[in-house]
Amino acid sequence: MGAELSRHVKRNLVAYIALLPMAIVVIFAYLGTMAWSVRLSFSSSKLLPRYDFVGADQYLTLFDTPRWLTSLGNLAVIAFFFLLICFLLGTLLAIFIDQNVRAESLFRTVFLYPYAMSFVVAGLIWQWVLNPDLGIQHTMHGFGFTDFVLDWVVNSEMVLYAVILATVWHGAGLVMALILAGLRGVDTEIWRATRIDGIPAWRVYVSIVLPMLRPMIITSLVLLSISIVKMYDVVVAMTNGGPGTASEVPAKFIMDNLFERANIGLATAASTVMLVTVLLVMAPVIYSQYFRKSGRAS
């Protein structure tokens, strides 16, 4: 075993050397800063870092802050509709393109193009579109439809749905691309057999094709979930968290306390909560993709 390991290392020595700088960056820049943030969350840091220990005081203060609780509630609403609509819309778009439609490359480009933009650009576009003084409402009033109202970005009851609309427009193309890649790998003999048996197309997708695309589905959901947890740019570009705190999200709460309110301890406590959230999202995926396979192999 030792000799085999030694041969493996010698054979891949150049590759390991090439990966060394990235490994150093991951260990020190990523893992190191994560550990440092977690440590500060247990301190009384304000404007500057302090290394005293106050236990869970920052976390107790955090979950006693109405603005933080509001941001968590907003994120839950955004996450539910964003994941549901993105997955359904992206899957339907992938199925549509997979039907050998004309101008397929054009459709792929149009549907995927929003994902190539940054969240800031996507947020600004929809801020302009939904702004009652600049966008669709203003245009419709110019055509004489003075009763037309589309003021989502300034309406506290609708602003979350404006954010959801912008993020779905941005993220559905990613799901489409991943699912389409999986559909192109489905054996054509499966389709022939189901046609002979007279199975409806929708049943084939639900019972046969989509279960085969499980890795693509998991990947798309994980990527979308992570983008939700760190959602900041699109909210700032569209609403800056307003009106009031109607569209406040955890990432904005963290940035405001870190840079504007000079409360490093509270900001790092909030970021640690979001880090744990990401780990909880990733844990089932890591287990299903690695540990369960290792158990089967053994």
Amino acid at 83: L
118-132 confidence digits (pLDDT tens): 888 999 999 999 988
189-221 confidence digits (pLDDT tens): 888 888 888 888 888 888 888 888 888 888 888
State the Cα torsion 185-191-193-199 to the nearest 10°. Answer: 130
Right CATH number for 59-297 from 1.20.120.1770, 3.90.1720.10, 2.40.50.140, 1.10.3720.10? 1.10.3720.10
Domain boundaries, the chain: 59-297
Pick from 145, 164, 142, 168: nearest CA to 153 = 164
pLDDT score recorded for residue 5: 58
133-181 confidence digits (pLDDT tens): 888 998 999 988 889 888 899 889 999 999 999 999 999 999 999 999 8
pTM over 0.75: yes
Q: Is 132 exposed, middle or buried (0-12, 13-18, 19+ CB in 10 A)?
A: middle
DSSP 8-state secondary structure symbol assigned to residue 232: -
